[in-house]
Chain A
Amino acid sequence: TSDLFDRAVKLSHYIHSLSSEMFNEFDEQYAQGRGFIMKSIDTCHTSSLNTPEDKEQAQQIHHDDLLNLVLRVLRSWNDPLGHIVTEVQGIREAPDTILWKAVEIEEQTKRLLEGMEKIVGRFHPGDLGNEVYSLWSGPPEKQITDENSRLYAFYHLLHCLRRDSHKIDNYLKLLKCTLMHGSNC
């Protein structure tokens, strides 16, 4: 399990780096001057999951619950990640690097989810919830042809992806310490 956890942490770190770079690239190319950040106080589709908001909260929550939250957040990104890959192909002049990152993030997130399911399975054999989380309400209406609204919706999704991938990375690093080194953390 220690080995599995090491790999999960490396993978989540990598996914967050990619998400962060993708957000920054998109932000520089499309969002500057459009005031997107003002609107990004809109909540993310995963905000109802009530994940810990600081170190104390993350350390007080039982590690089983934190592991399950990580699974839920990961699962809730299945559909939106597919949408990001599709959408980026429709954005005018989107650089190849953004497309490549979107595809890579989708693949690596699937790998991370599989790894996390294995880890949770080892702690609690047979207790692996397999609920489908459809917290995401789907892509914006097809009839939104307004370029600016489409770009904003995409920007917002990338912002949420960066945030959630950072959360997952941070929670996994805390969990690794708690589960591998116990009260020494």
Chain B
Amino acid sequence: SPPGKPDNIKCRSPEKETFSCWWEPGSDGGLPTNYSLLYKTEGKNSYSECPDYKTSGPNSCYFDKKHTSIWTMYTIIVNATNELGTTTSDPQFVDVAYIVELRPPLNVTLSIIDDPPHLLVKWSPPSKADVKSGWVTVEYEVRFKSKKAQEWETLDAGKQRQLRVFSLNPSENYIVQVRCKSDHGFWSMWSPESYIQIPDNF
């Protein structure tokens, strides 16, 4: 039979300068099937084909800087074709300004400060995102929990790149993670776990 409908087209940009879209292929009808992604931007009448199927892995399309504009609506469709026919996905509409999902913050460091006793958490902005020029504005969130605890506690760090945590139990081992987002974007993944042993006299 002809291929099933490609589904769940999802697009994300790590820095508001490039973006990628991924799709779920649907059934292949038992036959060799080719996929092609077509897109057009506002005011264009005709579709263009995906410029790069390789960079972002299987069933994906990568739009480099040259092919990325902000503040225009991309209409995106995926065609699945085998020798019995072509099936087209529902269209997906994407404005790159609103699909930003940054990489997690880098270089999370933890240090115990004695007076008054607290934990100082520091980090660096995510890779890729151009924070310095003002192109991307980043907000951060920190979460921590004792290894013994079930629930995370989460603190809003705003635009700061460090946060002081006071409410920790002495003698316990803590896990700390940081994540970030650009204004009106999606939260990044949490940074890898960082650990610290809180001193007995904390």
A binding-site residues for B, Cβ under 8 Å: 13, 16-17, 20, 37-38, 40-41, 43, 47, 51, 53-56, 58-59, 163, 166-167, 169-170, 173-178, 185
CB < 8 Å: which of A38, A56, A166, A173 contacts B71?
Answer: A166
Q: Are A41 and B73 in contact (CB under 8 A)?
A: yes
- Inter-chain contact A38/B184, CB cutoff 8 Å: no
Residues of B within 8 A of A166 (CB): 71, 97, 184
Determine the distance from Cα of A59 to Cα of B137 in the docked complex, in whole angstroms.
16
Contact A174 B135, beta carbon cutoff 8 Å: yes
15 contacts between A and B (CB under 8 A): A17-B184, A38-B93, A41-B93, A47-B43, A53-B70, A163-B71, A166-B97, A167-B71, A169-B183, A170-B70, A170-B134, A174-B134, A177-B134, A185-B132, A185-B134
Partner of B72, one of A17, A20, A53, A175: A53
Q: Please, how many angstroms separate the alpha-carbon atoms of A116 and B139 in the complex?
A: 26
- Please give, as numbers and ranges, the residues of chain A lying within 8 Å of B69 by CB-CB distance: 53-54
Tell me if B28 counts as interface (CB < 8 A to partner A). Answer: no
With a CB–CB cut-off of 8 A, which chain A residues contact B33?
Answer: none
Instruction: Tell me the smallest distance from the CB of A171 to a CB of chain B, in Å.
Output: 9
Apart from A16-B183, A177-B134, what 7 extra A-B contacts exist at CB < 8 Å? Answer: A40-B73, A43-B42, A54-B69, A54-B70, A59-B133, A173-B137, A185-B134
The listed residue (B65, B95, B137) touching A54 by CB distance below 8 A is B65
- Complex Cα distance, B74 from A38, in Å, reads 11
Q: Is B73 in contact with A185, judged by CB distance below 8 angstroms? A: no
Interfacial chain A residues near B130, Cβ < 8 Å: 55
Asked if B101 lies at the interface with its beta carbon under 8 angstroms from chain A, I say no
Contact A55 B93 (CB under 8 A): no
Which chain A residues lie closer than 8 Å to B73 at the CB level?
Answer: 40-41
Q: Which residues on the A side are within 8 Å of B43 (C-beta)?
A: 43, 47
The 8 A-B residue pairs with the shortest CB-CB distance in the complex, in nearest-first order: A173-B134, A53-B69, A177-B134, A185-B133, A174-B134, A55-B135, A41-B73, A37-B93
When distances are taken between beta carbons in the complex, the residues of chain B under 8 Å from A169 are: 183
Whether B184 lies near A20 (C-beta < 8 A) is: yes
- B16 contacts A by Cβ under 8 Å: yes
